[in-house]
Amino acid sequence: MINRKDSLLEIKGLSFSYGPIIALKKLSFHVNEGEIVALLGANGAGKSTLLKAISGLQNSSSGQIFFYGEDISALPAEQIVKRHLIHVPEHRQVFSTLSVIENMYLGAYHHFKKTKKKKIEKEIKKLFEIFPILEERKNQLAGTLSGGQQQMLAIARAIMAKPKLLLLDEPSLGLAPLLVKEVLELVKVLRDQYNTTILLIEQNVFASLKISDRAYVIQQGEIVKEGFSKELLNDEYVKEAFLGHAVS
C-alpha cells in the first residue's frame, strides 16, 4: 500500500465528458509532497484532460480535487494559480512577441507586488544557471527560439511562479532525442533544487519511469495500474503496452 499521509493532491472520483465522449471515469489517485509522479497512457487516454481539470482550465462533471486538503474543484484557474499549482501545457505556449526575460518576469506575476525586484532578479539568475541557453537568449523574442529552448523557457517561467505542484504535459514533445534527455533530466533537477512536487505526462515512457518515483497507467479515462516506477519498469503489462523490447 502506497503511503498517503503526505498527500499534496488528492483526486476522488473525477469524471469528465466531451459531449457523448467520456474522457475521465470516476478517476481517483493521489500525489505525495516531494514526489515526481508520471501519468502513462496512449494518446486519447485522458491524461491532458486530467491536468486541465486539476488546473481549472475545464470543470469536471463530478468528483473532487483536493490540494493541501482544500477542495479546489470549483475554483477558476486564476485562483488555483494563486495557490501555487502551476500548469505547463503541451505545445509550450510561450509569449512569442515578448523577450525571454519578459516571459520570466511574467511568471512572477501573482507575487510580483509582494516580492522585491532584487529577489525576483535573484530567482531569474538562479534559473539562468540551470538553463544557461536562456541567459544567452534573454533579450531574444521567445517566438524565435528553437522548440527545445521554448520548452525550457516555459518550464523556467513556471518555476518563477513558485509552484508547490507543477503539472508538466509532454515536455519533450517534438524535441530531438538529445534534447529529450536534457529536458527530462532538468525536471529532476528542478524537483531537487526547488522542492517542487511534479505531476508529469511524458510520451517517452521509459524516460519518465526512470526519473519519477511513482506512476499511474490510464486507459480510456480509468487508472488500470499504479505502482513505484522502478517496479513498473519490469512490469509485464507496462512493458508490453509501452516499452516493447526496450527493457529486458
> Within a domain: residue 206?
yes
Local structure of residue 75 (DSSP, 8 states) = -
> Within a domain: residue 44?
yes
Which pTM was predicted?
0.91
pLDDT at 244: 63
Element holding 218 (H helix, E strand): strand 214-219
> Within a domain: residue 113?
yes
> Within a domain: residue 20?
yes
For residue 98, give the CATH number of its domain: 3.40.50.300
> Within a domain: residue 71?
yes
Which residues of the chain fall below pLDDT 50?
1-3, 245-248
Per the structure, the count of domains in the chain is 1
> Within a domain: residue 225?
yes
pLDDT at 39: 96
223 bridge partner residues: 218
> Within a domain: residue 2?
no
pLDDT at 21: 87
> Within a domain: residue 70?
yes
What are 146's three cell numbers?
A: 528553437
State which residues form the domain around 138: 7-243
Angle subtended at Cα 181 by Cα 217 and Cα 102, rounded to the nearest 5 degrees: 100
- What digits encode the pLDDT tens for the residues 6-22? 689 999 999 998 888 88
pLDDT at 245: 45
